[in-house]
Structure 1
């Protein structure tokens, strides 16, 4: 309290309990915030998928590096040569882990590849060159995706996905616009088995012509039993294929013909299994890897 007496000023100190009540309230708010932060930090991670919109390409690229390091089976990447070089170390490490890596490389039609094809060795499984520029795209195990427009305008943005259903849309965008129609410039597969595939569509294209001519195809299927969630690694024979579309000639089925339902029948010593691709729901097994170990034609001795 303050009082005035003519030309003199007198001041009286307020009660400390009243003066400190506001400070105590502020301290209590900070302590509550600290407790909440500690609770959220120790809480288990959220399992649901997520989709995030970001404003800068560098944010998407940072997540791309982290996702490549977590890849277990399959990487699909659409990038420029410069971006590929920046990710090369992470891609090489993933290749060493047995990850299948497909690269759609944008090089303008009037330009030469800025480096030798040897740069792809021990880094990529298959590389295709495309003329048309497109956004940066990365897909990991059909579960996570990184997408970004690339320009200096104000409408630059990116999308970061951790959700199977949403990533599936990006997967088909990648196949139809960035992959299927372009020329193969590098392939590390040998001309003779064993062959390894992560996509059921690619496996069907390989085994169907051989089955049509009566060949016996032995190999393995790695995946998950749909009804139990148990992982499996089966050895047996590829005996038949089914898909919604139909071939008009003897050439391998097109991507469009395989775009709906597609399955492979695989026989072990015990029984025959219906095999679907990653995310299958109607078959016995959702496969992550198809391995063809031998193709023996009926005329082989």
Structure 2
């Protein structure tokens, strides 16, 4: 370390410029007369005596009365301890400042990249506690247990929670009786590890790459467009291709994805089943919350064929909507981001399936 850096460090530790200069000079010169100390540093000769007495009172130097005033540096053990404590305290303060900045609530349409994965996961827990409608969650079985409290809160708030879980143990454990599964709407197990992902109320997204990354980081977004992109990743890669665990589905069945609902009921509807549903969503004209109940009358999607084949998610990735016959007439229902339909569906409850004899 060069001399200027050492002087700056002592100044940061509370020494004045003159005090730091005199102390470093004593460390370099050893026992020296006061006039020689002043000669080897930038302190005016008349001022050196006061500076040495100040350092002696601080316990940094010891003065010796000979023919002229001499001084020498004291054992630096106490000073080193003080500097180490100060360094630790400043490091802790720096980390706390960074953590508080990263954990600060996001404004509208904002995205933060956090330096620590744990910060992003903490954000996800806070968002899930405040969720109003839906949560899509991809995580490990170990993380799932750690989320027990927040998932319990979501369950009590009538939030639809879909969880895609990856086993962390060497062997594929039986998750049929996974205890936290009692607090989720549906639980599915995947065999391929993925990033941690939490999607809350179609607006917030929290993503943490896998631990294979050399420098784990996280992304916290408050933006419905970015959340929409992540939701399709969740739906296609982490959800639709994996089977539910046990009999975790609750009845009546509740869907938060219109495309998934269409895939499940389309063959039944084509065969003539009377499918009764309740849709909770947003009126696309007024922006107000709206709930309608009725019977499925029509299903419309891109590349639709006139047969009972279950449509693929690729076919539903373009236009996908349905028409309900309600007591007030026909009502069109679209999925996330619907513009031309009457309602953007947020939650679809399957009330019943009847067959006409």
Counterpart CA distance in 2 for 1:290 and 1:119 is: 26
Residue-by-residue CA offset, 1:5-24 (whole Å, 9 max, x unaligned): xxx99xxxxxxxxxxxxxxx
Counterpart CA distance in 2 for 1:83 and 1:108 is: 10
RMSD: 2.5
SS at match of 2:158: coil
Residues 231 and 55 from structure 1, CA distance in 2 versus in 1: closer, same or farther, beyond 3 angstroms?
Answer: same
Residue-by-residue CA offset, 1:81-131 (whole Å, 9 max, x unaligned): 111111111112212222111111112695132765241443122222112
- The structure whose residues are more often strand, as a share, is 1
Whether the aligned pair in 1 keeps the contact of 2:166 and 2:192 (CA below 8 Å) is yes
Tell me whether 1:290 sits opposite 2:310 in the alignment: no
Tell me whether 1:175 sits opposite 2:215 in the alignment: no
Tell me whether 1:235 sits opposite 2:293 in the alignment: yes
1:204 matched residue in structure 2: 262
Match of 1:151 among 211, 221, 232: 211
Where structure 2 has 5 or more consecutive residues not aligned to the other structure, the ranges are 1-45, 48-104
Counterpart CA distance in 2 for 1:243 and 1:152 is: 39
Residue-by-residue CA offset, 1:114-157 (whole Å, 9 max, x unaligned): 76524144312222211222211111122111001243764221
1:62 matched residue in structure 2: 122
- The structure whose residues are more often helix, as a share, is 2
Q: TM-score, normalised by structure 1?
A: 0.77
SS at match of 2:314: coil
Match of 2:273 among 200, 215, 228: 215
SS at match of 2:152: helix
Residue-by-residue CA offset, 1:219-248 (whole Å, 9 max, x unaligned): 311111111112111122111110113359
Q: Answer with 1 or 2: which has the greater Rg.
A: 2
Where structure 1 has 5 or more consecutive residues not aligned to the other structure, the ranges are 1-7, 10-44
1:30 matched residue in structure 2: none
Q: 1:249 deviation in Å? A: 6.0
Residue-by-residue CA offset, 1:32-75 (whole Å, 9 max, x unaligned): xxxxxxxxxxxxx9863111111101110110110111212211
SS at match of 2:313: coil
2:191 matched residue in structure 1: 131
Q: 1:181 deviation in Å? A: 1.8
Q: Which has the higher contact order (CA 8 A, sep 6+)?
A: 1
Residues 107 and 121 from structure 1, CA distance in 2 versus in 1: closer, same or farther, beyond 3 angstroms?
Answer: closer
Counterpart CA distance in 2 for 1:110 and 1:46 is: 38
Residues 182 and 156 from structure 1, CA distance in 2 versus in 1: closer, same or farther, beyond 3 angstroms?
Answer: same
Q: 1:273 deviation in Å? A: 1.1
Match of 1:72 among 128, 132, 135: 132
Aligned length: 255
> How do residues 73-88 of structure 1 correspond to structure 2 at under 5 angstroms?
73-88=133-148
